[in-house]
Amino acid sequence: MQREYSVGWYKTQEGFAYKKMDQDESNKNDVVVVLGSRDISEEEPREVVDTPEIPFVGRNLGRNLERFSAFMRDISGINGQEPSGNEQADNEKVSNEQAGNEQASNRSFCELPSQSSSARNNFVVLGKEFDNAVDAKDRVSSLLWMSYRCGFEPIPKSEDGPKPIFFFSSIVFNKQTLNNLKNLKSLLDNENFTSDAGWGCMIRTSQNLLANTMLKLAKSKQEEKKEKQNKAEDDKKQNEVDDKKQNEVDDKKQRDKEIFSQIIALFQDNIKSPFSLHNFIRVVSGSPLQIKPGQWFGPNAASASIKKLTAEQNEKNDADSLVPVPFVYVSENCDLYDDEIEEIFQKEKKPLLLLFPIRLGIDQVNKYYHDSILQLLASEYSVGIAGGKPSSSFYFLGYENDDELIYLDPHSPQMVEEPINTNSYHVTEYSKLNIEMLDPSMMIGILVKTMAEYQSFKLECTSSKNKILHFHPLVTVVPQESSITQSWEEVQGGEEEDFVNLNVKKNEEEFIDLGK
């Protein structure tokens, strides 16, 4: 007898269950497949969410069509004026829905019906561990967030580079960018880029990494300054303690605002701001990489841009500046030499930002490196990772329960505002990506302020057997007469040999391995 089935998503307290029910009267047993939830075959009946053959596809398609229809109705009344208060709220709602859609698209099929946040108990954000999601979100909201921007100072297209109109579809379905005719006109400019939507995500995540590095340095500098002041004021009377504490809280809030404002000003989208999108493109277009406006950056281009721009800024930056700029060291092969690092600290006398533009696999990150990635994110010296999915870059801050990476998503276009709206540089929620879906191409950032911190970081990595970074101890070079007596012709060997042996022995106890 042929059996008939009804299928659908059933809601449970812990997630969703995909239930397949046998309608054959001779066998009324339920067949239940549970994803991210406990088995519900013995539970009371649940509400059926959908019952098509492939439930989640039909549901998402319907919702997307509804959103598109509503979006077209909303933008049909464009009048070239600033949005009203209600329109502003609608814009934010649309933007939040789009961000939610992007977040959902970053999850695999098996991740959609995941466990609730209440079941989680391990959160790590830039080296700090939390036991609940609320504190983790508070930490994330205190960081800086750079995203796509629209309406910025024009960047002329390259003669042999992409045309701005190619990226029109990345912008047009965001209602927030279509609130006035002036902006719509700039989007149709085929000679100048006025938005980086569709191509600038790696630049934005690199800005995120650098901006939060500078934020960490600025706050650390203020804390050290405050500690010195407190030591000098230990002789104050006890009855002044309460007033002093309140004043310290107020002072800290004011200093934090000043720090945020100064850092954000350095990243504004114009040629005068040292770490702007414009300057990221400027320095790398003149490098051997020759990346043009509209072309996607990779980790190598991003790290090269950061190194060049920080060097330029350090040449003119005041040592007493509220926002310190680090010296940047780039290691493409992930090798760190103790003597070289020590020399940098002695010469530059600045905090050191270590950047590692790497590829840890072919199509996806090899599982061999998963634990090492988590260890680096959990380090107190971590300033995050810029990477993501193929052709989509995210700023990774930490992880939940050793399998889901926490990240900030730059793929939400926002308008350039005058005066600067600092609230648009923060988020209240974070996104997640299963580590299995992480793209192997990424840029890892580590910040150490002293040689002692470098040694501490080195100990963290070596004790945990980190498989990404390689440390080399101090080497003392003793001049000695070389025992190599072969000429270049002799090393090449005879005519019948097809290769040169680069492992040339110096003596019986040591050799030079040029393959390392």
Number of domains in the chain: 2
Domain limits for position 78 = 5-100
Residue at which a domain ends, from 42, 69, 100: 100
pLDDT exceeds 70 at position 450 = yes
Indicate the helix (H) or strand (E) that contains 302. Answer: helix 299-316
Nearest-10 Cα torsion for 214, 217, 223, 228: -130
pLDDT exceeds 50 at position 81 = no
| Same domain assignment for residues 196 and 266 | yes
Examine residue 372 and state whether it is found in any structural domain, yes or no: yes
Identify which of 24, 18, 62 has the alpha carbon closest to the alpha carbon of residue 40: 18
What CA–CA distance (Å, rounded) separates 470 from 356?
11
pLDDT of residue 96: 45
| Same domain assignment for residues 143 and 86 | no
Identify which of 251, 253, 269 has the alpha carbon closest to the alpha carbon of residue 425: 269
What CA–CA distance (Å, rounded) separates 22 from 315?
74
> What number is the average pLDDT over the span 124-136?
95
| Same domain assignment for residues 187 and 44 | no
Examine residue 236 and state whether it is found in any structural domain, yes or no: no
pLDDT exceeds 60 at position 271 = yes
Q: Which residue has the higher pLDDT, 439 or 59?
A: 439
| Same domain assignment for residues 63 and 132 | no
> How sure is the predictor about 92, in pLDDT bands with cuts at 50, 70 and 90?
very low
pLDDT of residue 66: 55
pLDDT of residue 372: 98
Find how far residue 516's CA is from the centre of its chain.
30
**pLDDT per position as a tens digit, 295-313:** 999 999 999 999 999 999 9
Examine residue 11 and state whether it is found in any structural domain, yes or no: yes
pLDDT of residue 171: 58
Identify which of 426, 431, 417, 425 has the alpha carbon closest to the alpha carbon of residue 88: 417
pLDDT of residue 190: 80
pLDDT of residue 99: 45
Examine residue 105 and state whether it is found in any structural domain, yes or no: no
Q: What is the pTM of this model?
A: 0.68
| Same domain assignment for residues 83 and 196 | no
| Same domain assignment for residues 249 and 331 | yes
Specify the range with the lowest mean pLDDT, choosing from 12-26, 386-400, 424-438. 12-26
Examine residue 107 and state whether it is found in any structural domain, yes or no: no
Residues in the chain: 516
pLDDT exceeds 70 at position 242 = no
> What number is the average pLDDT over the span 491-509?
43
What CA–CA distance (Å, rounded) separates 219 from 324?
10
| Same domain assignment for residues 354 and 211 | yes
Examine residue 140 and state whether it is found in any structural domain, yes or no: yes
| Same domain assignment for residues 284 and 331 | yes
pLDDT of residue 243: 57
| Same domain assignment for residues 90 and 134 | no
Mean pLDDT (the chain, rounded): 74
> How sure is the predictor about 239, in pLDDT bands with cuts at 50, 70 and 90?
low
| Same domain assignment for residues 88 and 135 | no
pLDDT of residue 83: 42
DSSP one-letter string for 59-105: HHHHHHHHHHHHHHHHHTT--SS---HHHHHHHHHHHHHHHHHHHHH
What CA–CA distance (Å, rounded) separates 136 from 217?
21
Catalytic residues: 201, 409, 411
Residue 378 structure tokens: 């959990």
pLDDT of residue 189: 73
> What number is the average pLDDT over the span 236-258?
67
Examine residue 501 and state whether it is found in any structural domain, yes or no: no
> How sure is the predictor about 224, in pLDDT bands with cuts at 50, 70 and 90?
confident
| Same domain assignment for residues 306 and 454 | yes
| Same domain assignment for residues 86 and 177 | no
| Greatest mean pLDDT among 51-65, 184-198, 209-223, 372-386 | 372-386
pLDDT of residue 57: 41
Examine residue 400 and state whether it is found in any structural domain, yes or no: yes
Starting at the edge strand found earlier in the chain, the sheet holding 149-156 runs: 192-195, 149-156, 414-415
pLDDT of residue 11: 43
Helix orientation angle between 85-105 and 55-75, rounded to the nearest 10 degrees: 150
> How sure is the predictor about 218, in pLDDT bands with cuts at 50, 70 and 90?
very high
